[in-house]
Amino acid sequence: MQITYLGHAGFCVETKSSIIIMDPWLSEHGAFDSAWFQYPNNHHMAAYVQSVVETSKKDKYIYISHEHKDHFDINFLNTLKNRDFTVILANFFHPIVKEALTNYNCKNIVLLNNQEEFILKDASIILFTIDAELECDSAILVKSAGQSFLNLNDCKLHEELKSIVIKHGKIDVFTAQFSGAIWHPTCYTYSEEEYEKISKNKQKIKFELTARAIEVVKPTLYIPSAGPPCFLDPMLMHINFEKINIFPRATQLIEYLNYRCKHLNTVWPEVMPGDVFDVDVSKFIQLSSSRVNDNDFFSYVTSYANHYKKFFETRENNNYKINAHKVFLELRSDLEKKISNLKLVNKNITTPLYWRITEVKEEIYKIDFKEKELTIVHNIADYNNYYMIESPAWQVKKVLHKEINWPDFALTFRVKLTRVPDKYNTLIHGFLTLDAESIGRFCEMMQKCYDRNERMVIEYDGKRYSVLRYCRHQGGDLSQGWIENGCLVCPRHRWQYDLRNKGKCIYNDESIDAICLDQDISDKNETN
């Protein structure tokens, strides 16, 4: 088995009779309305993939893990002329990728359920999926001739890794995302100090998650992949150069692993688009001549951005011709659709959401979740209790005119968010980032999550605690988590539940209801 890295989350796996191309994100205009660009630049790999698809006589497959545009690059897929290949997708409740490929005219589209195996001439493919509205993603395992490659990409299935390894045996090559990819804290209003503190905690805990995954999988090779992107739009350029944020590069992870995982035999080199690893001989048989030196990051990204100067200037000129108030008025019906699909789960939300179009100064939408009501107001009523989102009219217009969807919008990072108090709320997050059609099912899934009351016993600091087993965020299995600084960490999105504070989450008001089963030593002393 040979594995060619295509950049970001893209791979081309070649066996004797088959070629499986995974998540080829190769378009020159990046993703999420050109907010994200591939780092390092991998546009040259487009010609490589086109030539493989065009000329190889082997059976060809293209796997798209999920609909996020840094994985599902329809512009690139449309450049492929010879469509003599099968597309492999996870069978998600919302078949977004399948529908987008309706008239694609490839050989076949295969939909696989969670853990379903698909047999190729000389290999097999198994997909592992999460299908939960806020998160729809899949991971892929390819096995051939006693060798295997597990590509987790962004899929937060770390809690399943143990059972995957038990069931499928040794994994030779493993890859998984190690950097962040969400709008918190990137788009939120924080002081520099708070921003760095949050980013540092998120970065550290994601590195630890990656280290733990490598410890479980014990591959020969771990490839740091699926991020971080870089940002070439002048509006977003500053993110690249922040002292600390949630987008660490591979070199930082490698430094962490070198120290944290030195007891393991796995290697974790920095891999560049075009590098080829041969699993038979367990080494790289080709290294791309175009390599990025992390010390040159500033000049690399600055010169990368210079190529797009004209592109963004033209866009900006056009963007600001838009009638912002018209967009504000058009936004109403989309928000109303979202509200009508909303089912309040578990708790009433007393925090109102304000939705502002940057250029519209006098009017703001106010959403009262409890009353399911949308009104236009002129001010924020209570500065101690509110959530606010703000974005330029041109970016919102692209959603309303179906050029991008709300999940894409959230990843453009061209928004500003403020929340007081600074507490994550899953329902508000879902409302902001999901399309109206997804909100009903999302609420049902949240309700199911709140209804799960199975408990487990864990030990911390010499005492036993009874806690809820499933995470209050999206149901992650906490029995596969770990304890750090007195907090039980969920292996999915790393919420931290403080055992010293009755199991309360440090990010919000959720709790796993931790009950200490052993009398505290200080209590005993007092009793005596």
**Contact criterion met (CB below 8 Å) for 26 and 46:** yes
**Contact criterion met (CB below 8 Å) for 190 and 198:** yes
Q: Is 293 exposed, middle or buried (0-12, 13-18, 19+ CB in 10 A)?
A: exposed
Kindly list the distances between the CA atom of residue 252 and the CA atoms of 224, 295, 485, in Å, as whole numbers in the listed order: 11, 12, 22
Residue 454 identity (one-letter amino acid)? E
Nearest to 94 by CA among 115, 72, 66: 66
Shortest Å, Cβ 454 to ligand FES: 15
Shortest Å, Cβ 494 to ligand FES: 6
Q: Is 439 exposed, middle or buried (0-12, 13-18, 19+ CB in 10 A)?
A: buried
338/492 with CB nearer ligand FES: 492
Nearest to 180 by CA among 215, 204, 161: 204
**What's the CA gap between 119 and 215, in Å, rounded?**
29
Q: What is the largest CA-CA distance in the chain?
A: 82
Q: Is 85 exposed, middle or buried (0-12, 13-18, 19+ CB in 10 A)?
A: buried
419/472 with CB nearer ligand FES: 472
**Contact criterion met (CB below 8 Å) for 1 and 14:** yes
Cα 136 → chain centroid: 10
70/510 with CB nearer ligand FES: 510
71/472 with CB nearer ligand FES: 472
1/490 with CB nearer ligand FES: 490
Place of tokens 């002081």: 191
Shortest Å, Cβ 205 to ligand FES: 11
| Alpha helices in 1-113, H assignment, sequence order | 45-55, 74-77, 96-100
52/471 with CB nearer ligand FES: 471
**What's the CA gap between 143 and 177, in Å, rounded?**
21
Shortest Å, Cβ 159 to ligand FES: 9
Nearest to 330 by CA among 306, 357, 350: 357
401/455 with CB nearer ligand FES: 455
4/474 with CB nearer ligand FES: 474
**What's the CA gap between 287 and 274, in Å, rounded?**
7
Shortest Å, Cβ 489 to ligand FES: 9
List of residues contacting ligand FES (CB under 6 A)? 471, 473-476, 490, 492-495
147/480 with CB nearer ligand FES: 480
First to last CA, the chain: 68
Kindly list the distances between the CA atom of residue 329 and the CA atoms of 237, 340, 355, 435, in Å, as whole numbers in the listed order: 30, 18, 12, 18
Shortest Å, Cβ 422 to ligand FES: 17
Shortest Å, Cβ 60 to ligand FES: 36
Cis peptide before 273 (omega within 30 of 0): no
Shortest Å, Cβ 160 to ligand FES: 13
Neighbours of 515 (CB within 10 A): 13
282/485 with CB nearer ligand FES: 485
Q: Residue 422: which residues within 8 A CB-CB, separation 6 or more?
A: none
Shortest Å, Cβ 203 to ligand FES: 16
Region class of 115: left (phi > 0), else alpha (psi between -120 and 50), else beta: left
69/494 with CB nearer ligand FES: 494
Shortest Å, Cβ 419 to ligand FES: 18
Q: Token pair for residue 312?
A: 């963004």
128/495 with CB nearer ligand FES: 495
9/487 with CB nearer ligand FES: 487
**Contact criterion met (CB below 8 Å) for 279 and 149:** yes
Shortest Å, Cβ 508 to ligand FES: 11
Shortest Å, Cβ 493 to ligand FES: 3
Shortest Å, Cβ 448 to ligand FES: 13
